[in-house]
Chains A and B, each alone.
Chain A
Amino acid sequence: MGIKHWAYRYQAGGIALLVLLGGCSAEIESVREEAPVPEDIERVARDPGRQGDIFTGTSAGTPATFNPLVAEDATSTEAIARLLDGLTRFDPVKEEVVPGLAKSWDVSEDSKTFTFHLRRGVRWSDGEPFTADDVVFTFKAIYDERYPNRKQMEFRAGGEPFEVEKIDDHTVRFTTAEIFAPFLLYIGTEILPRHKLIDAFADGTLMRQWTISTASRTPEQIVGTGPFRIRSFRPAQRMIYEPNPHYWRADREDARLPYVDFFIERFVQDQNASMVAFASGQSDHQGITPDQAGWIRRNAERHDYTVHDRGPSTSTSFIWFNQNPGTNENGTPFVEPHKLEWFTNQTFRQAVSYGIDRQGLIDGVIFGRGEPLWSSVSPANTQWYNPDVRTYPYDPEKALALLEEVGFRKENGRLYDEHGNRVTFSLITNEDNRLRANMATVFMENMKDLGIEVRLRLIDFSNFVNRISESFNYEAGLLGFTGGRDPHGGTSIYSSGGRLHVWHPNQPEPATEWEARIDELMQKQLRTLDEEERREYFNEVQSIMSEQLPLIYLITPNIHEGLRNRWRNIDPPDMGTLIWNLDEIWAEQRLLP
Chain B
Amino acid sequence: MKTVIARRLIALIPMLLGITFMATMLMHLAPGDFLDQVRMQRDADPEYIERLEREFGLDNPWYVQYFLWLKNVVPWDLRSDFGYSFHYKVDVWELLGQRLPATILLSVTSLAFAWVIAIPLGVLAAIYKDSIFDRISSILAYAALSIPEFFLALLALFFAARTGLFPLGGFTSTEFEFMSPVRRFFDVAHHLILPTIVVGIGSIASIMRIMRANFIDNIRSEYVTTARAKGVPEGIVMFRHVFRNAINPLITAAGFAFSSIVSGALMVEIVMNYPGIGHMIFHAILQQDQFVVLGALVMSSTMLILGNLLADIALAWNDPRIRYD
Contacts and interface: CB of A to CB of B under 8 A. Distances in A.
Interface of A: 2-3, 6, 10, 15, 17-18, 20-21, 24-25, 27-29, 56, 64-65, 67, 70, 72-73, 148-150, 152-154, 207-208, 211-213, 216, 231-232, 234-238, 240, 264, 266, 268-269, 273, 460-463, 465-466, 469, 481, 484, 489-490, 492-493, 499-500
B45 A489 contact: no
Contacts, number: 138
Contact of B174 (A20, A150, A152): A20
A2 B271 contact: yes
A466 B40 CA distance: 10
B45 A150 contact: yes
B30 A481 contact: no
Most buried by B among A2, A21, A24, A216: A2
A18 B54 CA distance: 51
Contacts of A460: 31-32
Interface in B208-249: none
A264 B177 CA distance: 11
Residue of B88, B157, B279 with most chain A CB atoms under a 10 A cut-off: B88
Contacts of A64: 87-89
Interface residues of B, number: 56
B60 interface: no
A305 B154 CA distance: 26
Given A216-B98, A237-B171, A148 B52 contact: yes
Given A29-B178, A70-B89, A232-B177, A489 B48 contact: no
B176 to A, nearest CB: 8
B39 A149 contact: no
B38 interface: yes
B286 to A, nearest CB: 9
B177 A240 contact: yes
Interface in B158-192: 158, 161-162, 164, 167-168, 170-175, 177-179
Given A211-B88, A236-B99, A499-B39, 6 more contacts: A6-B157, A148-B48, A148-B51, A150-B43, A213-B95, A463-B31
A268 B273 contact: yes
B99 A153 contact: no
Contacts of A24: 173, 175
B256 interface: no
A3 B179 CA distance: 30
B70 interface: no
A154 B45 contact: yes
Given A72-B38, A461-B32, A231 B177 contact: yes
B46 A264 contact: no
A28 B178 contact: yes
Interface string B99-143: 100000000000000000000000000000000000000000000
B270 A269 contact: yes
A211 B178 CA distance: 24
The 9 residue pairs across chains A and B that have the minimum distance between CB atoms = A462-B32, A153-B45, A236-B275, A148-B51, A463-B31, A462-B31, A27-B175, A465-B36, A211-B90
Nearest to A61: B283
B21 interface: no
A21 B168 CA distance: 13
B33 interface: yes
30 contacts: A2-B154, A18-B168, A20-B167, A20-B174, A25-B174, A56-B174, A64-B88, A148-B51, A148-B52, A150-B43, A150-B45, A207-B89, A208-B84, A211-B88, A211-B89, A212-B98, A213-B94, A234-B172, A234-B275, A235-B275, A236-B99, A236-B275, A264-B174, A266-B174, A460-B31, A462-B32, A462-B33, A465-B39, A466-B31, A492-B43
A459 B91 CA distance: 32
Contacts of A25: 174-175
B6 interface: no
Query: Most B CB atoms within 10 A — which of A212, A231, A232?
Result: A212
B150 interface: yes
Interface string B20-38: 0000000000111100111
Nearest to A266: B174
Nearest to A149: B48
Contact of A148 (B37, B55, B89, B271): B55
A213 B33 CA distance: 25
A484 B175 contact: no
Given A15-B162, A24-B173, A211-B90, A269 B273 contact: yes
Nearest to B46: A499
Contacts of A212: 88, 90, 98
A240 B87 CA distance: 22
B42 A10 contact: no
Given A6-B154, A15-B161, A234-B275, A484 B37 contact: no
A238 B158 CA distance: 22
Contacts of B99: 235-236
A473 to B, nearest CB: 12
Contacts of A20: 167-168, 173-174
Contacts of B54: 148
Nearest to A276: B168
B47 interface: yes
Contacts of B174: 20-21, 25, 56, 238, 264, 266
A489 B42 CA distance: 7
B44 interface: yes
A481 B170 contact: no
B5 interface: no
B297 interface: no
Contacts of A6: 154, 157-158
A18 B161 contact: yes
B58 interface: no
A477 to B, nearest CB: 12
B299 interface: no
Contacts of B273: 268-269, 273
A369 to B, nearest CB: 25
Max count, chain A CB within 10 A of own CB: residue among B30, B38, B90: B90
A235 B36 contact: no
A168 to B, nearest CB: 34
Contacts of A492: 42-45
B33 to A, nearest CB: 7
A237 B46 contact: no
A150 B48 contact: yes
Nearest to A17: B161
